[in-house]
Amino acid sequence: MNNMRIFVIGDIAKIENPVSRWTRFLDQKQDSHELTPISYSKDVLSKAGKSQSKSAFLITAPGSQSTYLKAITKIPFDYSHEDNAKIFLACEYLQCVEGPFWRGIRGTGLAYGANIYTDHDYGQLIFSIYRGADTEKAFSVAKEIVNDFYCK
C-alpha cells in the first residue's frame, strides 16, 4: 500500500461527505512515505533518443509494395513554450484535408498520406509518409511546401 496515488473523477458535489468516504481506507495506512516521482517517457530515452540527430534506421518490409518514412526533429518539451501553439497550428494547416500536403503529395499520387505532428512527451516534431509510391519525391515536395509556407 505504499506509493499509491488516488485520482477521482466525478461530480463529488452529489456525494454526501465525499472526503469521509475515504476515511476507512486511509485510517488503515500506518505510516506515510514520500511518493516516488512519476517518470516520463522522455526521462528514459537511450543516447540516440536523447540526441535525436545523426541517426537513421532502415527497416525492410518485403511483404509491402509501399514505402513508409518518419523524419523526426527536436522541439521544446515544455507545453507552455511560446512556440508550441505556432508549431501545432502549422502542423494542422499543412496536413488538413485538401490542405497543402493533401494536394501536393496525395493528390499527385506520391503517397497515400503525409502527416506532420508533435509528440510533446518526447519533444519531437514528426513528419511521416504513409504508403509512398515515390517517397523521395514526396519528401522533396513536402520540404518545398514547408519552405513556401515558412517564407510567406
pLDDT tens-digit series, residues 58-99? 676 777 788 889 998 888 777 788 888 899 999 999 999 999
Paired with 126 in beta bridges are 72, 117
Phi-psi region of 51 (alpha: psi -120 to 50; beta: other; left: phi over 0): alpha
pTM of the model: 0.68
Which residues are registered as beta bridge partners of 72?
126
What is the pLDDT, as a whole number, of residue 146? Answer: 93
Q: Cβ distance 114 to 127 under 8 Å?
A: yes
In angstroms, how far is CA 67 from the centroid of its own chain?
A: 21
| pLDDT reading at 26 higher than 80 | no
d(CA 55, CA 128): 16
Dihedral sign from CA coordinates of 58, 113, 131, 138: negative
Q: Is the CB of residue 95 less than 8 Å from the CB of residue 102?
A: yes
Q: What is the mean pLDDT of residues 16-29?
A: 76
152 has pLDDT over 70: no
| Maximal CA-CA distance, the chain | 67
Comparing C-alpha atoms, which of 78, 150, 131 is closest to residue 115? 131
Q: Read off the pLDDT of residues 100-139 as tens digits, 9 standing for 90 and up.
A: 999 999 999 999 999 999 988 888 899 999 998 888 999 9
